[in-house]
Amino acid sequence: MEDNFFEITDKDDKNLEDTSEKEFSEDTSTVENEEGNDKKKEGETGNSALSEILDWIKVLAVAAVLAFGINNFIIANSTIPTGSMENTIMPGARVFGSRLEYTFGEVHRDDIAIFIYGYTCKNDGQMYRENSNHACPKCGREDTANSVVYYVKRVIGMPGDHIEIKQTGMADASEFHNIEIGVNADGTTPQVPVGTVYVNGEAKEEVYLPEPMIVDGRQFPEVDVVVPEGHYYMLGDNRNNSMDARFWGDYNMVARDRMLAKVYFKYWPFSDMGFVK
């Protein structure tokens, strides 16, 4: 009996000891698993945040590439700073032009075009017309090292055209709204010499002009030129307030590779939004 008693007691103690160790072992495993899960969750959260940041970087990079491509190869977005194209395009208006039109298509008469006029020198800040030396006439800095200046004008002369601007009559000063004429000494309104554009000997009808075109042979000169092959003769719609081909000197044409885009649409201000003709 005693042997049995002690035998049973020994067995019970062993069972209790084994159970305790087992339970302790299981508790430790649970704690370790929970800690591991927490660390795993923290790692997953960190990876998720990093992944989201990388996704945003990818989106922004793609958007930047698309914007660059669209702005440099598909459309031209320009602001008109002066009144040289009134009333077709008013000062401060913003326009879209199609680069594809001149990349794959042709320039046409009466197109309103965005083109390279010249450059602003980064040395002296002087804006100058493109010239045969391809450099600033004042300091000699090359065009490629200066800032490009874009103009917006209407295509009047095509390659090979004979362009003439002649004085053809007089107009009363009351007909002018975009330029101040003044009055005579006796208070009467003066008569102003005006003219007409001729293309290959035929008078050009220009319904887009906001007022008669002054041609006095001095400030507003007469013109007689032939447009070279691969070039265009450009004038503003507001002839009495436009620095255009009449005043560009010897280099007074625009080469084909300087024609960037055909203007199609005004999008600002909203009150004047619409297609350009």
pLDDT 10s per residue in the chain (277 long)? 444 433 333 444 444 344 444 443 444 444 445 555 555 555 566 678 888 888 788 777 766 665 555 556 567 888 899 999 999 999 999 999 999 999 999 999 999 999 999 999 999 999 999 888 999 999 999 999 999 999 999 999 999 999 999 999 999 999 998 888 888 888 888 999 999 999 999 999 999 999 999 999 999 999 999 999 999 999 999 999 999 999 999 899 999 999 999 999 999 999 999 999 8
Question: What is the gyration radius of the CA atoms in the chain, in angstroms?
Answer: 39
Instruction: Report the topology of domain 80-275.
Output: Umud Fragment, subunit A (2.10.109)
- Per-residue buried b or exposed e for 75-93, using 16+ beta carbons within 10 Å of the residue's own CB: bbebebeebbbbebbeeeb
Query: Nearest 10 degrees: CA dihedral of 161, 162, 164, 168?
Result: -100
Which residues fall within 8 angstroms of residue 70, CB to CB, at 6 or more apart? Answer: none
The domain locations on the chain are 1-74, 80-275
Would you state the pLDDT for residue 48? 83
Q: Which residue has the tokens 């003066």?
A: 190
Show the DSSP H helices in the chain as ranges: 2-69, 99-104
Distance from chain centroid for Cα 119: 17
Would you state the pLDDT for residue 1? 43
CB atoms within 10 A of CB 166: 14
Would you state the pLDDT for residue 194? 98
Would you state the pLDDT for residue 35? 53
